[in-house]
Amino acid sequence: MSSHRLAANGVEVAVRDGWEVEFSELRANPGADPRSLVHLANFALPAERGDYGSGAVESMDSGGILIVLMEFDPPSAGGAMFSGDAVPHGLVAADFSPAALQRRLPGQAGSQRFFRVGERAFGLYVVLGAHRQAALLAREVNLTLAGITID
Amino acid sequence: MIVLVVVQTIAIAILTVIVFGLLRTHADILRALDRAGVPLDDSAPASPIGPVPVAAPTTRSEAIDIVGTVPGGGPVKVAIAGPHHTLLAFLSSGCRTCQAFWSEFASPTVDLPGDETRLVIVAQDPAHDSESRLAELAPTGVRTVCSSDAWNAYGVPGSPYFALVDGRTGRVVGSGTATGWEQVHGLLSQALGDEALGGTVDEALAASGIGPGHPSLYPEPLGTDEGDR
């Protein structure tokens, strides 16, 4: 694992060699509490991206991985959708499907999970550059997810 | 008498405010000059800050990832590795020479030397530069990072300064500066050409079996033969 550990708003990421990360904040309105948005990728993240990685997924090659960690409003944490109680891990090839993509591009596959940590609600969205390599890339995803901690 | 004391007190208070104002302005000017790389000590040796010819390093230097913050944003890490070149442009918000580069890099058609070269602008940490001004200057679509650690790691003598990194080898191909983009582009292109031809001088010597301590590096001085006496 890399020695680079970056953190913001109670989310900490141990960034692996060859991976990029950017933390930003989402606000429903100017006075609202900030919500975390973290983009992780094993390729060059463009400076301009959509929350779910539009603008980045177009530049992924077959070995590319994009991980989006998005925080939702705290009241969402009580909803049934946020059933997990920790950062997801142990993803396998069967967890990925082109149907899960926010923006469908040929060959790519995605996976989406919702979970909560304490009173905080999060969505995890992962895009793989090649569905046919899902088994291999899922292992890389799990190694990176293992480096994410949330207070 | 009381009126005189009151007037005197008011006058002293006004003068105090003026003096503090002047001191603050002076400090702002000194900080701006420091950011611009202007030496303030006449007795000091010539500052290394300023145009430095772009050149391939005589020994290959390792590139490191850029870790810092986005101006006005959160933490960020930019990886150098990959099948492309990365042009690191070390710029400041206050340096006059940098203004031309900020403008040049705002152009979506800027021509970068190297293979699928990615431009990354690296400024100093917010403690050493104006974060709000950097956020204004950061060109749309260009990765801009505040990282004084990167300035130290790449040995940046002042701004502007450029380092072209080969993501496949993770090494700096060329570095230095000039006063205009055309000049920087040309010199970095030359460094790329030199790299393609044969790498560094040390590598060429090593390929010929000549390393540190090799006798051929220490020829006998001329004039030691008997016939020369």
Ordered by start, the domain boundaries in chain B are 1-35, 66-207
Chain B hits for A21, CB-CB cut-off 8 Å, are: 75-77
Burial class (CB in 10 A: 0-12, 13-18, 19+), B165: buried
CA distance readout (Å), A121 to A67, A74, A132, B71, B193: 17, 6, 31, 27, 52
And the tokens for A129?
A: 């550059």
CB contact under 8 A, B74 and A21: no
Contacts with A109 (C-beta within 8 Å, 6 or more apart), sequence order: A96, A97, A98, A100, A101, A127, A128, A130, A131, A134
The architecture (CATH level 2) of B66-207 comes to: 3-Layer(aba) Sandwich (3.40)
And the tokens for B186?
A: 């040309």
Band of pLDDT at residue B153, cut at 50, 70 and 90: very high
CB contact under 8 A, B144 and A47: yes
Q: Which of B77, B81, B142 sits opposite A6 (nearest CB)?
A: B77
pLDDT in tens, chain A (151 residues): 456 999 999 999 999 999 999 999 998 788 888 999 999 999 999 999 999 999 999 999 999 999 999 999 988 878 888 888 899 999 999 999 999 999 999 999 999 999 999 999 999 999 999 999 999 999 999 999 999 999 8
pLDDT digits (tens, 9 = 90+) for B169-182: 999 999 998 889 99
- Does the pLDDT of residue B6 top 80, yes or no? yes
pLDDT digits (tens, 9 = 90+) for B89-147: 999 999 999 999 999 999 988 999 988 899 999 999 999 999 999 999 999 999 999 99
Contacts with B127 (C-beta within 8 Å, 6 or more apart), sequence order: B148
Q: Determine the average pLDDT of the residues in B147-151.
A: 96
Q: Which of B75, B79, B142 sits opposite A6 (nearest CB)?
A: B75
